[in-house]
Amino acid sequence: MGEILTYTLLQRLDSLEKVFRANLQLANTLRNYISRKLEELRKREGSDFSLKIMDFCGTHEWTIVHFGLRSLMPKGIELVAGPGCPVCVTPSYYIEQAIRLSLEGITIYTYGDTFKLPAINPVDGVSSLEEARARGGRVKLALSLMDAIRDAKATGKDSLFLGIGFETVAPGYARALVADMLPPNLKLLSLVKLTPPAMFYSLDILRDKPTDAPVMGVIAPGHVSTVTGAKAWVPVAEHFGIPVVVSGFEPIDVLSSIAEIMRQLVNREASVKIEYTRAVTWQGDLKTQAMIHRAFEVADDAWRGIGFIPLSGLRIREKYSKNDAREAYGIRELTPAEWKKDTPPGCRCAEVTLGKAKPTDCPMFMKKCTPEKPYGPCMVSIEGTCAVWARFGGGGLAQEIAAELEQI
What is the enclosing helix (H) or strand (E) of 382?
A: none
What 373-377 contacts at long range (C-beta under 8 Å, 24+ apart), as own/partner pairs, is: 374/116, 374/117, 374/118, 375/118, 375/344, 375/347, 376/118, 376/343, 376/344, 376/347, 376/348, 376/349, 377/87, 377/88, 377/89, 377/90, 377/92, 377/117, 377/118, 377/304, 377/305, 377/343, 377/347, 377/349
Least distance to ligand SF4, CB of residue 345, Å? 9
Least distance to ligand SF4, CB of residue 190, Å? 25
Q: What is the DSSP string of 332-350?
A: PPP-TTT----S-TT--HH
The two beta strands, 107-110 and 244-247, are unpaired
Least distance to ligand SF4, CB of residue 379, Å? 4
Identity of the residue, 94 or 365, whose beta carbon is nearer to ligand SF4 in the bound complex: 365
Identity of the residue, 303 or 375, whose beta carbon is nearer to ligand SF4 in the bound complex: 375
Identity of the residue, 177 or 349, whose beta carbon is nearer to ligand SF4 in the bound complex: 349
Least distance to ligand SF4, CB of residue 147, Å? 28
Contact 52, 80 (CB under 8 A): yes
Identity of the residue, 332 or 367, whose beta carbon is nearer to ligand SF4 in the bound complex: 367
Identity of the residue, 173 or 389, whose beta carbon is nearer to ligand SF4 in the bound complex: 389
What is the three-class DSSP state of 392?
A: helix
Least distance to ligand SF4, CB of residue 60, Å? 18
Least distance to ligand SF4, CB of residue 56, Å? 18
Identity of the residue, 184 or 363, whose beta carbon is nearer to ligand SF4 in the bound complex: 363
Identity of the residue, 54 or 347, whose beta carbon is nearer to ligand SF4 in the bound complex: 347
Residues with Cβ within 8 Å of 78's Cβ and at least 6 positions away in sequence, in order, are 50, 51, 52, 53, 213
Q: Which residues bind ligand SF4 (CB under 6 A)?
A: 347-349, 352, 359, 362, 364-365, 369, 375-376, 378-379, 386
DSSP character for 119? P
Report the residue number whose CB is nearest to ligand SF4: 376
| Whole-number Å distance between alpha carbons of 32 and 34 | 5
Least distance to ligand SF4, CB of residue 372, Å? 12
